[in-house]
Structures are given as structure tokens and as C-alpha cells.
Amino acid sequence: MNEKILANGILRAIGVLALIAVALYFLYQIQSVIIYLVVAFILTLIGNPFLYFLKRRLKFKHVFATITTLLLFVLVIIGFIMLFVPLISSQGENLSLLNTAQIEKNSLQLINQIAVFLENHHIDSSKLLKEANITSKINFNFIPDFLNFIIGAISSFGMGLASVLFITFFFLKDQILIKEGAKKLIPDSQEDKILNSLEKINHLLSRYFIGLLLQLFIVFILYAIVLFIFGVQNAIVIAFLCAVLNIVPYVGPLIASIMAAILTMIGQLGSDFQTQILPVTIYVLFGFWIVQIIDNNVCQPIIFSKSVSSHPLEIFIVILIAGFLFGILGMIVAVPIFTILKVLGKEFFPENKIIQLITKKI
């Protein structure tokens, strides 16, 4: 009898593991759809305040308010795309296959200028630079292939964007129907707690993502001012790319500074390294560091602590732990997930002293 029970238990465990494996494989196969749903959900959270404003203040009907909110998203996306049109048109010829030789020549000139500068200051790294023979290992013919990859990515982005906007439209339009359908799946004993949690999560995450957009916009403006002051080419595009990198806390600004320095140097190829390229690059780096000090000590603490009702030190520790455990992705999603856990903890474990301590502002 015991052997039969043991065999059944083993078979049941194997069946459960097989189902889990099939479910994970299925989720892996539809990962693009999951990403579309997550992005559409984030856009819905960002769009809800605009939707409510149009309905309550301007007396728009629900469907018309939904369409207007979606059109606002489309206009913002078109605006971002238009930022890159000048860059693509101005750099298209330089990055074509026919001009890779010129790019290589300019890049070699820059590397030689760096080597001369290091030699003039008695730094042995110039010798190492020559011994490493880096220039002979660089194949500039990868550029046309890279451009083809970018074109393919833009095509995929277009299809994905259309899918996300389509899903977002129905998330915004049918929110009440979705909530009513969710109610039918929730046990009656837990309905009030779960619905209250969802309402608070929706409110806090909407504030968080709007706060994040505000923070990125402020950083973008400050970066652009720094780049314009020092006459860096394609300042708007570089500022936008560097601002987007700030989505990754702490690590993103460092990468943004490095990228800004590289793009600044590339934009001045052909100029004298010691008297023009190096000083401008140092000034840009210094300006970016000032922007990051302002962002880290003023913008982020005020915006994020207000939007998710958390102490700045609390947010810093959460991001740090998430970064150690899950890397860059963990740092990006740390604050939203922590906010969700706080709301659930307050709703389901209100008597816990730790929960009371970290959720007293919610």
C-alpha cells in the first residue's frame, strides 16, 4: 500500500513539474506578447490621470477621452522620433559603406592624438596603446551591418508600437469591464482587501510613472543646456539618449556620462585633441556630473518620495538590494514592485509592526 502511495506521489510530482515546464516554455514563446501587455499597462497608468482630467474637467465622454489620451501618446512618440530625423539624415552619408574609410581615418587620427597627448605628459599608457595595436583590431566595416540591424529593429519597433497602442486603447476604454470581470474571479472573503489594494496600487504607480517622466524631462533639459553651452553636435539627441539611461538608477547616469564623452569626441573628429577635443569633453563631463548631483540630491528624492510615499533612504536601500540580487533589471523595477508589496502588506497584514513602520505614509 505504501509503495502504491509513493508511486502515485512520484507520478503526481512529475506531472506537476511537467506542467510547470510546459507553462514556462509557453510563457517564453509568448514573451513578446507579455512585454506588450506590461508596456500597455504602464502606459495605461500614465494615461489615467489625463483620462480623468478630460472626463471631469473638460466633460469629455469616456470613449472620446480615451481616444484623445491615446492621440497624446502618439504625438509624444512622433515628437521623439522627429528628434532623430536630423541625426539620421546628417549622419547617413557618413555612416554609409562608401565612407567607412573616412570614419576609420578620422578615428585613427583621434587615437593618434590621444597617444601624442599622453606622451607629452610622460604617461606610459601611450606606449601600451601602441603595443596593444588597437587600431589594427578595429573593423569599421561593421557599421553598414549595424545600420541594417537598426533598420530591422525600427521595423519591429513599429509593429510592437502598434500592438501596444491597440492594447492600451482597450485597457483605458474598458477599465470598468476589466475590474468587473476581475471581481468574479476574486473570493468573496478577500474581495474588499484585494480591490482596495488594486486601487491604491493603481494610484501610486500612476504617480510613480508620471514622476519618473517628470524626472527624465528635467534631466533631459539640463543635459541639453550643458551640451548647447559647449557647442556639441546633435545636442538634443545626445541629451535625450542620456536622459533615458537615467531610468537605470545610479548605473544609468554613469553610462550616460561615458556615452556623452564619447559622442562629444566623435563629433569633433579632425580638431586638435589637446586644445579643443579634450577640454570640451572634460567640460561636458563636469556639466553632466553637476546635473547628476542635482538629480540625485534634489529631483529624485522629492519626486519619488512624494509619488510613492516612501522615504528617500528607503528607496535607495531597496534599489541597492535589488541591484545586488537581480542586476540592472532589478534596479529598474525595484520601486514599483516595492510599492506593490507595501500596499499588499498594509492591506493584508496591518498589525505587523514592520509593515506599520514602512507604510505609515500610505
Rounded to an integer, what distance in angstroms lies between the CA atom of residue 196 and that of residue 187?
14
With cut-offs at 50, 70 and 90, classify the pLDDT of residue 146: very low
Specify the DSSP class assigned to residue 188: G
- HEC-encoded secondary structure of 217-260: HHHHHHHHHHHHHCCCCCHHHHHHHHHHHCCCCCHHHHHHHHHH
What contacts 227, CB < 8 A, 6 or more positions away? 235, 238, 239, 260, 264, 284, 287
> CA 26 to CA 179: how far, in whole Å?
26
Query: What count of other Cβ atoms lies within 10 Å of the Cβ of residue 8?
Result: 10
Cα dist from 12 to 2, 21, 23, 260, whole Å: 15, 14, 16, 57
Whether the CB-CB separation of 130 and 170 falls below 8 Å is answered with no
Distance of alpha carbon 211 from alpha carbon 205, whole angstroms: 9
More confident residue, 189 or 128: 189
* pLDDT score, position 222: 92
Task: Residue 260: name the closest of 245, 250, 271 by CA.
Answer: 245
Instruction: Average the pLDDT over each of 52-56, 274-278, 345-349 and give the range with the smallest value.
Output: 274-278
pLDDT in tens, 78-111: 877 776 665 555 544 444 433 445 555 656 666 6
Q: How far apart are CA 208 and CA 125, in angstroms?
A: 46
For 289, residues 6+ apart whose C-beta sits below 8 A from its C-beta are 257
Count Cβ atoms within 10 A of the Cβ of residue 118 and give its class: 0-12 exposed, 13-18 middle, 19 or more buried. middle
Using one digit for the tens of pLDDT, what is the confidence trace for 292-330? Answer: 888 877 777 777 777 777 777 788 888 888 888 877 778
| Higher pLDDT among residues 88 and 60, named by residue | 60
Share of the chain above pLDDT 90, in %: 4
Helix-then-strand count for the chain, H and E = 15, 0
Please report how the helices 100-120 and 142-173 are oriented relative to each other, as an axis angle in degrees rounded to 10. Answer: 100
